[in-house]
Amino acid sequence: MATEGKDAAAKSRRKRDSADQFDPVQQVLRTRPGFLVRRLNQIHYALFAEECKTHNMTPVQFGILTALSLNPWLDQTSIGMELGLDRTTTADVLQRLEEKNLITRRTSPTDRRSRQSTITEEGFRAMKSLHEGMNNAQHRLLSPLTPRNREQRSTHEQKCADRVHDDGPEESVSAEHAVRRRLPAVGCCETVDVDRRK
């Protein structure tokens, strides 16, 4: 009888220990690159909002301003391709930036169906005032890494992004091959989960 009781207790303990050891977030989700990339994006979005809260600006908006500061008079399609945004999101963000007088838009001189955008002086001032906050957000995001780890991270992420870009779905790649400029990674190339704030 005592032996049966000990066996049952041991079996119960093993079962409890097994349940305690399985943590789906730690053992499953945290091994998936997509989950980690999305989680880091969420954290970056929160850090950016915290560091730049007085400017009513999102990483997507800052990214578009950066792209336009490097390549004035880009059309809407090219802007979307540079930042990995769909057409509707790009149009919405451009409208918000124009309403804030941070960009100006015009009809393309070579294609009346296309609209081009460029950054305004007010847009440059906004970027300058946000620069420190944006850098702080990125520094905080990468703070757990050593300088060598940060350099390796950048290299590995760029390699993955380039490879997926080159080998991705045909409809995405064929459209994106039309514009293959490479912008420096200074706040303009975040992959973002766009929310209603855009």
User: CATH assignment of 30-176, given 3.90.320.10, 3.30.2390.10, 3.40.50.850, 1.10.10.10?
Assistant: 1.10.10.10
Q: Identify whether the C-beta of residue 83 lies closer than 8 Å to the C-beta of residue 189.
A: yes
Reduce the DSSP state of residue 159 to 3 states and report it: helix
pLDDT digits (tens, 9 = 90+) for 107-141: 999 999 999 999 999 999 999 999 999 999 999 99
Angle at 21 between CA 15 and CA 24, to 5 degrees: 115
Say if residue 194's pLDDT is above 60: no
What is the reported pTM? 0.68
Over its C-alpha atoms, the chain yields an Rg (Å, rounded) of 23
Q: In the chain, what are the domain boundaries?
A: 30-176
